């Protein structure tokens, strides 16, 4: 399976304090439909009958472009996408009649899963009752849904959040993720450090997310889901470069292969050898460590040395 994640819009009706997308806001707020079609078409050509491809629409809030979302979902299914999914804050559940209509149309268009952001950050802006109504309509229609919950030391944790759902999860398989807030740049952090869920060791896992091609509305492309994006992870621009070239960089670039096979912890000893030792604890997860490694002022030189040793 190959994965295409399209940031369908950077617009959002909730300015959540923890959101990393604010760091990448551009003057182009919406992905042009023609671009989305082309990216899907090119990804379809790269896929095989056995492996298939998956399309994920993110934001921002994709449901602010609801009718366009239907169009691109239908296009992805017509091109053979095995899975088509999107994420939402569930604001549209406020009107239950409209929510039922939208979910029916989503099912008819070929949407296979809707992922809901459900946590204290989002509920500062989106009434819980709206989200619950949106979830209920998905369950009624048989549309698979998932839940992502961002947490810090000061927020409610997943069990408390799920208790708000009552019987909505009863006898239903629902993928659920509890995600620690990933710190941004020092200037961009809106969550104080004493609220971060820090680990007492260096995250040593490889990055299994580096199989996704994520594209912003302006065409900027990254090789992963977005939690640890830095400029050094940019693989190119899909508006001027074929998807096939970008996917080759994702699958074969030495930096991306190292992060995928060894994880960002592989580079830590090289910083020490160069006289710039990184802290051996105090990271939320591997995305936080990756951001720290790749945004270091000496990262270009040190990563070059590390990658040379692998050759």
Confidence (pLDDT) at 311: 67
Q: What is the predicted pLDDT for the residue at 86?
A: 98
Q: How high is the pLDDT of residue 18?
A: 86
**What backbone torsions phi and psi does residue 162 show, to the nearest 5 degrees?**
-65, -25
Domains located in the chain, CATH noted: 2-197 (3.20.20.70)
Q: Which strands form 83-88's sheet, in the order they lie side by side?
A: 176-180, 144-151, 113-117, 83-88, 53-58, 2-7, 212-215, 220-222, 236-237
Helix (H) or strand (E) holding 215: strand 212-215
pLDDT digits (tens, 9 = 90+) for 152-203: 999 999 999 999 999 999 999 999 999 999 987 654 578 999 999 999 999 9
From its phi and psi, is residue 58 left (phi > 0), alpha (psi between -120 and 50) or beta? Answer: beta
Tell me the C-alpha distance between 73 and 78, whole Å: 9
* Cβ pair 116, 147 in contact under 8 A: yes
Residue 276 has a pLDDT of: 95
Q: Is the pTM of this model over 0.85?
A: yes
The closest of 51, 55, 61 to 38, measured between CA atoms, is 55
Backbone φ and ψ for 148, nearest 5 degrees, come out as -120, 135
CA distance 18 to 5: 21
- Which of the residues in the chain have pLDDT under 70? 21-28, 49-50, 185-188, 311
Q: CA 107 to CA 73: how far, in whole Å?
A: 10
Side-chain half-sphere CA neighbours of 289 within 13 A: 28
Note the pLDDT of residue 241: 96
The first and second tokens of residue 57, run together, are 């629409």
């Amino acid at each position: 399976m190959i994965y295409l994640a399209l940031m369908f819009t950077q617009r959002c009706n909730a300015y959540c304090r923890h959101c990393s997308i604010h760091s990448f806001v551009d003057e182009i707020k919406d992905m042009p439909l023609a671009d989305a079609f082309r990216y899907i078409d090119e990804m379809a050509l790269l896929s095989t009958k056995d492996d298939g491809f998956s399309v994920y629409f993110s934001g921002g809030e994709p449901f602010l472009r609801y009718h366009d979302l239907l169009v691109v979902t239908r296009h992805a299914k017509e091109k053979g996408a095995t899975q088509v999914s999107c994420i939402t804050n569930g604001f549209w559940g406020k009107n239950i009649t409209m929510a039922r209509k939208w979910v029916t149309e989503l099912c008819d268009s070929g949407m296979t899963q809707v992922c809901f952001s459900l946590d204290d950050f989002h509920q500062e802006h989106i009434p819980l009752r709206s989200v619950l109504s949106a979830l209920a309509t998905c369950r009624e229609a048989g549309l698979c849904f998932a839940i992502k919950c961002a947490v810090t030391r000061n927020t409610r944790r997943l069990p408390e959040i799920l208790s708000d759902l009552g019987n909505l999860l009863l006898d239903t398989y629902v993928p659920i993720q509890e995600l620690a807030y990933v710190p941004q740049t020092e200037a961009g952090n809106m969550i104080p450090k004493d609220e971060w869920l820090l680990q007492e060791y260096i995250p040593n896992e490889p990055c299994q997310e580096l199989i996704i091609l994520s594209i912003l509305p302006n065409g900027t492309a990254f090789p992963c889901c977005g939690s640890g994006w830095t400029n050094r992870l940019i693989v190119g621009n899909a508006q001027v470069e074929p998807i096939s070239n970008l996917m080759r960089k994702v699958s074969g670039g030495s930096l991306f292969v190292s992060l995928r096979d060894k994880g960002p912890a592989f580079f830590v000893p090289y910083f020490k050898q160069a006289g710039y030792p990184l802290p051996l604890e105090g990271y939320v997860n591997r995305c936080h460590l990756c951001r720290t490694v790749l945004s270091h002022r000496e990262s270009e030189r040190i990563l070059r040395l590390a990658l040379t040793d692998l050759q």
